[in-house]
Structure 1
Amino acid sequence: MINISKRANKGTGLYENMQGGVMNILGIVGILLGIAILMYFTFQKLDVVWLSVIAAMVVAICNRALSLETYTETFMSGAAGFIKTYTPIFLVGCMFAALYSESGASQVIAKTIIRTFAKGGVHGTRGIWVAVLSSFAITTVFYLGGIDAMASIIARVPLVIGFFKEVNLPRRYIPGCIYIGSMMSSLPGSPQIINVIPLALGTTPTAALVPGLIGSAVGGILAILFTVWVLKRAKVRGEQFCGIDTDPVADETKRVPNFFVALIPLIAIFVVFNVFKLNIILAMLIGLVLALILFAPALKAQNKENRYGRAVIAAFNGAVPQTARIALITGSLVGFGAVVSATDAFGAIVQALTSVDSGMLLIFVVVAASIVVGIMGNPVGGVSAAVNMLAPSFLAAGVPAQAFHRLVTMAGTTFDSLPTNAGVLTAIALPGCTVKESYPLMFLNSVVATLVSAFVAAIVMTLFPGLI
């Protein structure tokens, strides 16, 4: 009787394990299906705000977790938390960018940089190189200066539009050029939050300094070459810049800020955030106030009624709907990620990623972390989840904490840039482009080049462990 009972219990346990395995497989299929729905229908120009809810419900159904609370609690808690934290940054960033557009400061910076590097010649291949290198340099400065990634995108859009307009490059490649320096946010020493999160492991901001620099340099060069190649082909096809109503429309026959004056608010943000260690919102508010003061004559001159107050109101009014749209897009995608991360299937994925026996652990750190980041759909949530869920297993397997820190941070710039990412959609929406026409170059720069960066760093660490 005892033996029969044991066998029965054993059989029941086996059945439960098999049943659990089948449900996990179905749940994983649901997660992949949800991501596929987001990616495919975003390309078809469906609005991601409501589409993310549909995708989240598909994930919930496949994970046997569909209920009203899945939407009202899990989804909305994730979305609301993100919107609460980041909307102030979005608002100040949009207002800041609007002042640069309305005053003509963004065009002044763009033209000065281009003319300085090209010595007045910005046509043909030389102009392409100048526009690309200028975009890469500004991206690097913004990231190393501590400007939040989303705020950086918002602030750089008018600058890159200025570059493209000056060199007469096709508009649809502006988002790709905005993302040309994606890997720079994960540089050793970067104040970006994806480099701050892994500090919980007891590491330093410059963890794995040399491998990180080598990987970032290789990825950066690759992104530059990708962009130049694509723009050269576009020039051969006869594509040109096409303006739209929301472009900076400063009349250069009227007063515009001096180049060095236009740089002051940007420099102030860098210094206040990095030297005085103030919150990014306060740092950007200081930059905003400086722009209001320093750009006052230009704002007045550019206004049709020649009134400073009207110019400021027009700029800020335009920033509000832009902010609301960005916040809704971002929050909706984070809500989708919250539903995914709450499923048992997601836990099974994490367990599988950390239990594979591999002789190339550092390479697999990049693979595992990139997958987690892709599932979460955003760099901050992805890196945070990767540190919390992957670190214990990989560190126990012998991966040095400094190496894990750098590789997870670099992985945070890879599959975070799928078409479901809020930053990607923002970079496409602000210059008035579409996912279908702009994402291919973005994919090369923000997924392919960043993956190469991370894998190169992992290979360097594997071959030369003394550099970690």
Structure 2
Amino acid sequence: MLSALGLALALALLIVLTMRGWNLFVATPLCALLVALTSGIALLPPLALEGAPNLVGAYMGGFTGFVTNWFFMFLLGSIFGKLMEDSGAADAIAAAVMRHLGPSHAALAVVLACAILTYGGVSLFVVAFSVYPAALALFRAADLPRRFIPAALAFGSVTFTMTSAGSPEIQNWIPIPYLGTTPWAAWEASLVTALFMAVVGQLWLGWMLKRAKARGERFESREGDPGELRTDLPPLWAAFLPTLVVLGVSFALHDRFGVSALIVALLSGCAAVGLLCLRTLRQPGKAIGEGSTGALIAIGNTAAVVGFGAVAKLSPAFGVAVEAITHMPGSGVATAAIAVSLIAAMTGSASGGQAIALPIIAPIFLAQGVNPDQLHRSVAISSGVLDSLPHNGYVVTTIRAICGETHKDAYLPVGALTVIVPGLGLLLCLGLFALGL
């Protein structure tokens, strides 16, 4: 009972502190401490029994594990984005979009850019780094409130592309070994669901932007922003090609190297910017330095949340909750979706929700004769519903470290597009399964 109360309070406190702008290097250890104190977890290694976990070891294990796995992707992704900005490539892309689509479609252009990169195999975090400079230029040229940039980036990255059939993102691949399926599992229902999420989400984003402008909100420049659209821009083909290089190399090497393909892809992209936009690079050394610093802040914020999740998983209440959630009565497909979504909410991770739930629920439901393709798709889509609560690592990184916004200003549109829209999509998908699609 005490453990359950402590875990619930710690999760609630983390969300509140995140929304209030607390530094995550302070908020996450504080909330982890609450979990440890109410769950009987030793605070320091010398206080733990032999082989037993402790707060410091568990927190730092989760923290350093994430850094180990993702440091070079964050670093190179941030540098790539800064080089695109410094070379004028981001401004060239923004200018082309404004000419062809007009100011009213600036947000749509950002969403499409993220969707193409995400479905092409580029990591979600890297997509945000890479697209942000162009997004900033587009929103500035269209005079749109910049607090909606995180929502546009997140909507294009973690909704209708991340969990769709054929997506190379890990959220679509984790179920495969457990269910014996393919990345294209239940593609018919997935296609309808993805189109529904894309259309509804884009209409909602456009409505929110229109209301904000009607209230008098405009783009507000800040110290450190790049200036107005430059005149010394690289040719449009040279501006686009580095992003296509990242996309192409990532796609070509994904099956062989997995996420490590991103290291090669991003290195290739950085080299392509240097070669193709050499004449318009202004201060490449400064861009690389700023990109490196930004990467450290971004990965640190995310790793801090992962560290808290590592401690939360050790609490007895977490194990009891997982057992109860994964053995709920009802339809196998719907029950699996609810289980994964709730665990993803507790861990703040879509992939974490799947990795914890699938080893338990997959054998149970497969033995009951549940369609594995339907199970795969429901699990994939549901993992992207409640994972995007305020304490989610991607959300924190995108809002704070990449876009420089606050949760108070930026999270509401992010939550609308990454929690409610995928939730509606999940209901539609389950309905399609019930109709036999």
| TM-score scaled by length of structure 2 | 0.92
Query: Which of 218, 222, 228 is the matching residue for 2:200?
Result: 222
Name the structure 2 match of 1:55: 31
Superposed counterparts of 1:138-177, under 5 Å: 138-177=113-152
Percent of paired sites with the same residue = 29
Query: Which of 6, 11, 20 is the matching residue for 1:35?
Result: 11
Name the structure 2 match of 1:372: 343
RMSD between aligned residues: 1.6
Name the structure 1 match of 2:165: 188
Name the structure 1 match of 2:49: none
Structure 1 residue 251 displacement after superposition: 5.8
Using the alignment, how far apart are the partners of 1:249 and 1:85 within structure 2?
35
Of residues 259-268 and 390-399 in structure 1, the stretch that sits farther from structure 2 once superposed is 390-399
Name the structure 2 match of 1:292: 274
Alpha carbons 1:38, 1:420 under 8 Å: kept: yes
| SS of residue matched to 1:275 | helix
Structure 1 residue 417 displacement after superposition: 1.1
Using the alignment, how far apart are the partners of 1:370 and 1:377 within structure 2?
10
Structure 1 residue 402 displacement after superposition: 1.6
Using the alignment, how far apart are the partners of 2:433 and 2:77 within structure 1?
38
Alpha carbons 2:41, 2:55 under 8 Å: kept: no
Alpha carbons 2:163, 2:172 under 8 Å: kept: yes
Name the structure 1 match of 2:425: 453
1:104-127 CA-to-partner distances (Å, cap 9, x unmatched) read: 111211221232123xxx2xxxx1
Alpha carbons 1:374, 1:416 under 8 Å: kept: yes
1:320-358 CA-to-partner distances (Å, cap 9, x unmatched) read: 221111111111111111111222211211111122221
The one-letter code sitting in structure 1 at the alignment partner of 2:210 is K
Using the alignment, how far apart are the partners of 2:340 and 2:370 within structure 1?
14
| TM-score scaled by length of structure 1 | 0.86
Structure 1 residue 30 displacement after superposition: 1.8
Structure 1 residue 67 displacement after superposition: 2.5
The alignment covers a number of residue pairs equal to: 420
- Compared CA separation, residues 132 and 261, structure 1 to 2 (3 A): same
Name the structure 2 match of 1:65: 41
Using the alignment, how far apart are the partners of 2:6 and 2:363 within structure 1?
27
Name the structure 2 match of 1:306: none
Using the alignment, how far apart are the partners of 1:165 and 1:409 within structure 2?
35
Alpha carbons 1:114, 1:131 under 8 Å: kept: yes
- Compared CA separation, residues 392 and 49, structure 1 to 2 (3 A): farther
Query: Which of 356, 374, 378 is the matching residue for 1:407?
Result: 378
| SS of residue matched to 1:206 | coil
| SS of residue matched to 1:179 | helix
Structure 1 residue 443 displacement after superposition: 0.4
Name the structure 2 match of 1:88: 72
Using the alignment, how far apart are the partners of 1:59 and 1:271 within structure 2?
44
Q: Is residue 439 from structure 1 mapped to residue 411 from structure 2 by the alignment?
A: yes
| SS of residue matched to 1:345 | helix
Using the alignment, how far apart are the partners of 1:276 and 1:424 within structure 2?
27
The one-letter code sitting in structure 1 at the alignment partner of 2:153 is I
Which ranges of structure 1 fall in alignment gaps of 5 or more residues? Answer: 1-24, 304-310
Name the structure 2 match of 1:22: none
Q: Is residue 133 from structure 1 mapped to residue 104 from structure 2 by the alignment?
A: no
Query: Which of 34, 48, 59 is the matching residue for 1:75?
Result: 59
Q: Is residue 273 from structure 1 mapped to residue 250 from structure 2 by the alignment?
A: yes
Using the alignment, how far apart are the partners of 2:351 and 2:194 within structure 1?
19
Using the alignment, how far apart are the partners of 1:328 and 1:200 within structure 2?
31
Of residues 95-104 and 426-435 in structure 1, the stretch that sits farther from structure 2 once superposed is 426-435
| SS of residue matched to 2:162 | helix
Structure 1 residue 370 displacement after superposition: 0.6
Superposed counterparts of 1:346-361, under 5 Å: 346-358=318-330, 360-361=331-332
- Compared CA separation, residues 404 and 152, structure 1 to 2 (3 A): same
Which ranges of structure 2 fall in alignment gaps of 5 or more residues? Answer: 46-53
1:277-317 CA-to-partner distances (Å, cap 9, x unmatched) read: 35111111111111111111011xxx3xxxxxxx1110011
Alpha carbons 1:42, 1:419 under 8 Å: kept: yes
Using the alignment, how far apart are the partners of 1:351 and 1:396 within structure 2?
18
Query: Which of 202, 211, 230 is the matching residue for 1:233?
Result: 211
1:130-189 CA-to-partner distances (Å, cap 9, x unmatched) read: 123212211210111100011111111112112211110111111111112221111100
Name the structure 1 match of 2:20: 44
Structure 1 residue 101 displacement after superposition: 1.0
Name the structure 1 match of 2:174: 197
1:190-242 CA-to-partner distances (Å, cap 9, x unmatched) read: 11111121111211010111111111221222211211111111111111101
Using the alignment, how far apart are the partners of 1:342 and 1:281 within structure 2?
32
Structure 1 residue 386 displacement after superposition: 2.6
